[in-house]
Chains A and B, each alone.
Chain A
């Protein structure tokens, strides 16, 4: 059973960079699957941020592409998200997820982390 856990600062200042890490257990990132980030502002709907295929291909939401960087650390079985130049509009619960064995896609969440709230405020 694949398990994911987000970690990172819960508070980020405006204009700074939001950095989150997702630690994966029960599966080796380098074995396959796509690994992604999704966010949900408090009381609102879901937004797909982007996905990565174990350090190779990345797939970013065009609306966030200019501010997003994703990477994989196979030695730690982790993948990471960086979102720069944040504003209050980036305040949300951030989830990491993986496609698992769902075929033909990089942007579906079959297994999810529990989510972590990141607040952008000075």
Chain B
């Protein structure tokens, strides 16, 4: 099973900040990585797939990068609607393992 490790677990930031979340895979997953945003009580929302492709209707302030075992999700200018928990997911294998999540909090 491929382990996915996100850092940090919690991130405190202010509106307008540039924010970067890292996701590391236990083995190479090429670029088969997705990022989701989840708010309390809601289903996750797909932000990024194939490491850097933007999902439908996702604002351009979100971007993804990486390949192999190390990936990043960057929010260029944090907006009030962006305070949420973010998950990475590998889809190189059918286990579809998720990271443990990164909570972005208001500073």
Contact = CB atoms under 8 A, between A and B. Distances in A.
A100 B32 CA distance: 16
A107 B56 contact: no
Grouping DSSP codes into helix (H, G, I), strand (E, B) and loop, the A interface class, with mixed when no group exceeds half, is loop
Contact of A108 (B43, B45, B46, B101): B46
Given A112-B44, A114-B43, A105 B101 contact: no
Contacts of B42: 114
Contacts of B101: 45
Contacts, number: 63
Sorting the interface of chain A by its residue count into under 10, 10 to 19, 20 to 34 or 35 or more gives: 20 to 34
Contact of A59 (B56, B94, B99): B94
A101 B32 CA distance: 16
B34 interface: yes
A113 B91 CA distance: 20
Interface in B25-74: 32, 34, 36, 42-46, 49-50, 55-56
Interface of A: 45-48, 50-51, 59-63, 95, 97, 100-102, 104-110, 112-115
21 contacts: A45-B98, A46-B36, A46-B44, A46-B87, A46-B89, A48-B97, A50-B94, A59-B94, A62-B95, A63-B1, A63-B95, A95-B43, A97-B43, A102-B49, A106-B94, A108-B34, A108-B49, A110-B56, A112-B43, A112-B45, A114-B42
Interface of B: 1, 32, 34, 36, 42-46, 49-50, 55-56, 87, 89, 91, 94-101
